[in-house]
């Protein structure tokens, strides 16, 4: 069950949100009375009981907004119980002084916004002893292992327990708590109305993660990154799982660099089926796997891991997707210019082409490697010249200082820097006056789809490949590696397009 937390300063707005949620099918709503600025009129708030309610009134030291007296607060909590509200939230230090009455269930809670203490089991025992119907422990996750400890505590408890780790690292606990036996998990009304750090929205939980239907047979997948909150991969993969009616979920795992090995071991132990891997873990992951495909080894980075028991196999679907995009563009260009009636073999399309790669990070490495493998002449220009030189040395190309990127006239130009990415939409890594109509321009940035470079390239009459195409293809390859099924590419594309921010000029 999902419990949607709402906190508004006015009764009218609180009641309107409660009604809206009940209409949306919410099964439980937490009203945060500490958000109400004026005198609290409980009778008015609870007049129409459209769905079950939790009443909470949090002090500042527990992460709330309550500014009036403690006596007043306790009086409100007692009144809520007397009015027969479904649940009341009582902090550890007051739970003993507020007796059970009627049918109201007691949530005895503890919040720690700094850390996840080591003695979770002892804390749990103390809270459970306070005549708790539900124990709630919400702590800040500073490491992935905090989440693992929290879920173990929930699993071991005999009293219904909600164990939440706050912050982006804690998403796992918010989604998987129900599976481990929590009676419900807290969600936010919307991304603008998040009340605790790391809360997932009602809509995302209900439509994307669907924690209430996760069971022992559910196969878990995910993206491991740090940070991870911006990732579109959970949207795209969960939409595809839903489309195929698979009992699978794809979660965002925020894992700090020093915990990657611990995390991978947890994935093996838990039976996670596969991972997308992104910044900053692509290189470090490679050394932790039992097998790595040749291309990923050559690139020196993986963006996908398939896990089968103890076997972990690394792939680089960025590379495959980018090469597919460019192969298609070269074929289209060849046809348009009608150079020859003879069809050109795929492996000959790139041979001798002059390619300029902008940037020298993970994406640049995958693409420069693929281009060289196919016989293109590769130059790399990057802000940090040493990184450009290093990448050029590794793949067998030429390194350039950023200022020298116009020294060559490329047949293929690829932007592998974040320049032009939302919200920096008025920037381009390449001056429009230097674009030539015979150049294939490939911008790997996919948010927005039509970057300034893409627009300039279209205006100059170039052949254009956009990052959205690559993004969807790399995700589709991952989906096939994860499930063995043909990916629903159009659905995946539509899902990303719906989410990425509209460009504002």
What is the DSSP track for 305-332? EEEETTEEEEE-HHHHHHHHHHHHHHHH
Do 54 and 88 contact (CB within 8 A), yes or no?
yes
Q: Binding to ligand NAP (CB under 6 A): which residues in 375-404? A: 382-384, 387, 402
Q: Between residues 209 and 471, which has the closer beta carbon with respect to ligand NAP?
A: 471
Q: Is 136 a catalytic residue?
A: yes
CB nearer to ligand NAP: give 126 or 387: 387
In the complex, minimum distance from the CB of residue 410 to ligand NAP, in angstroms, rounded to a whole number:
17
Stretch of 326-334, 344-352, 353-361, 434-442 contacting ligand NAP, by CB under 6 A: 353-361
Is the CB of residue 174 less than 8 Å from the CB of residue 200? yes
Please, are residues 349 and 327 in contact by the beta-carbon 8 Å criterion?
A: yes
* CB closer to ligand NAP out of 403 and 485: 403
Spell out where 7-130 has E strands: 28-32, 53-56, 87-91, 105-112
Q: Are 6 and 32 in contact (CB under 8 A)?
A: yes
Burial (CB count <10 Å: 0-12, 13-18, 19+), residue 470: buried
Q: Are the C-beta atoms of residues 480 and 241 closer than 8 Å to each other?
A: no
- Pick 68 or 404: Cβ nearer ligand NAP: 404
418, 460, 494, 503: residue in contact with ligand NAP (rule CB under 6 A)? 418
Catalytic one among 62, 89, 105, 136?
Answer: 136
Tell me: does residue 362 bind ligand NAP (CB under 6 A).
yes
State which of residues 151, 166, 323, 419 lies at the interface with ligand NAP (CB under 6 A). 419
Site for ligand NAP in 440-499 (CB under 6 A): 444-446, 467, 470-471, 474
**What part of residues 265-294 is at the interface with ligand NAP (CB under 6 A)?**
279
Is 346 noted as a catalytic residue in this protein? no
Is the Cβ of residue 240 or residue 416 nearer to ligand NAP in the bound state? 416
Reply yes or no on whether 331 is catalytic.
no
Task: Compute the least distance from the CB of residue 368 to ligand NAP, in Å.
Answer: 11
489 token code pair: 């590419």
Cβ of residue 350: shortest distance to ligand NAP, in angstroms? 19
Shortest distance, CB of residue 244 to ligand NAP, whole angstroms? Answer: 22
Count interface residues toward ligand NAP (CB under 6 A).
25
Q: Provide the terminal-to-terminal Cα distance of the chain, rounded to the nearest Å.
A: 42
| Spatial CB neighbours of 476, under 8 Å, sequence gap ≥ 6 | 321, 487, 489, 492
CA 46/CA 429 separation, integer angstroms: 57
Least distance to ligand NAP from the beta carbon of 466, Å? 8
Tell me the two tokens of residue 88: 């009341």
Helix (H) or strand (E) segment spanning residue 173: helix 171-176
| Contacting residue, 304, 417, 451, 478, with ligand NAP by CB under 6 A | 417
360 is an interface residue for ligand NAP by CB under 6 A? yes
Shortest Å distance, C-beta 264 to ligand NAP: 20
Which of 34, 62, 89, 111 is an active site residue? 111
Query: What are residue 267's DSSP bridge partners?
Result: none
In the numeric block, the tokens 């400890």 are attached to: 149
Q: Residue 475 Cβ, how far from ligand NAP at the closest point, in Å?
A: 8
Our CA dihedral for 330, 331, 334, 340, rounded to 10 degrees, sits at 140
Three-state secondary structure call for residue 8: coil
Which position among 226, 282, 455, 456 bears the catalytic label?
282
Which residue intervals of 30-119 are DSSP H helices?
42-45, 70-82, 92-95
Closest CA to 362 of 256, 225, 174: 225
Q: Is 41 a catalytic residue?
A: no
- Binds ligand NAP (CB under 6 A): choice among 359, 370, 397, 399: 359
Which residues of this chain interact with ligand NAP, rule CB under 6 A?
Answer: 279, 318, 359-364, 382-384, 387, 402, 416-419, 421, 444-446, 467, 470-471, 474
Mind telling me the catalytic residues?
111, 136, 282, 318
């Amino acid at each position: 069950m999902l419990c949607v937390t709402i906190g508004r300063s006015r009764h009218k707005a609180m009641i309107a949100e409660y009604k809206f949620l009940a209409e949306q099918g919410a099964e439980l709503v937490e009203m945060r009375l500490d958000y109400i600025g004026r005198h609290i009129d409980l009778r008015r708030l609870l007049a129409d009981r459209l769905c079950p309610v939790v009443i909470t009134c949090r002090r500042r030291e527990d992460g709330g907004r309550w500014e009036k007296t403690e006596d007043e607060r306790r009086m409100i909590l007692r009144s809520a119980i007397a009015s027969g509200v479904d649940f009341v939230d009582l902090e550890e230090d007051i739970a003993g002084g507020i007796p059970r009455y009627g049918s109201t269930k007691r949530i005895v809670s503890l919040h720690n916004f700094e850390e996840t203490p080591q003695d979770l089991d002892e804390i749990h025992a103390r809270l459970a002893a306070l005549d708790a119907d539900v124990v709630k422990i919400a702590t800040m996750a500073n490491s992935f292992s905090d989440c693992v400890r929290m879920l173990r505590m929930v699993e071991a408890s005999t009293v219904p327990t909600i164990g939440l780790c706050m912050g982006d690292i804690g998403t796992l606990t918010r989604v998987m708590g129900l599976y481990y036996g929590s009676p419900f998990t807290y969600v936010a009304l919307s991304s603008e109305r998040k009340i605790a750090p790391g809360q997932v929205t009602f809509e995302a939980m209900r439509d994307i993660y669907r924690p209430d239907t996760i069971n022992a047979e559910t196969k878990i997948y995910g993206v491991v990154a740090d940070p991870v909150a911006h990732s579109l991969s959970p949207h795209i993969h969960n939409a595809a799982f839903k489309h195929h009616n698979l009992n699978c979920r794809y979660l965002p795992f925020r894992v700090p660099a020093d915990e990657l090995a611990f995390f991978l071991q947890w994935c093996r132990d838990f039976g996670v089926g596969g991972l997308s891997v992104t910044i900053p873990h692509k290189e470090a992951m490679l050394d932790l796997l039992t097998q790595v495909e040749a291309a990923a080894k050559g690139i020196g980075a993986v963006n996908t891991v398939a896990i089968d028991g103890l076997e972990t196999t690394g792939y680089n679907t960025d590379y495959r997707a980018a090469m597919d995009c460019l192969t298609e563009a070269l074929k289209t260009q060849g046809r348009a210019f009608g150079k020859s009636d003879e069809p050109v073999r795929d492996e000959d399309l790139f041979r001798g082409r002059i390619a300029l790669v902008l940037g020298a990070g993970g994406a640049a490495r995958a693409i420069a490697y693929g281009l060289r493998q196919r016989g293109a002449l590769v130059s790399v220009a990057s802000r940090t010249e040493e990184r450009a030189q290093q990448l050029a040395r590794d793949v067998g190309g030429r390194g350039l200082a950023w200022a020298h990127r116009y020294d060559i006239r490329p047949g293929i130009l690829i932007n592998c820097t974040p320049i032009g990415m939302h919200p920096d939409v008025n920037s381009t890594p390449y001056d429009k006056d230097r674009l030539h109509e015979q150049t294939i321009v490939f911008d790997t940035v996919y948010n927005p789809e039509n970057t300034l470079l893409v627009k300039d390239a279209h205006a100059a009459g170039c052949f254009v490949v956009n990052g959205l195409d690559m993004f969807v293809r790399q995700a589709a390859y991952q989906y096939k590696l994860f499930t063995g099924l043909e990916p629903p590419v159009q659905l995946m594309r539509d899902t990303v397009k719906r989410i990425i921010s509209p460009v504002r000029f």
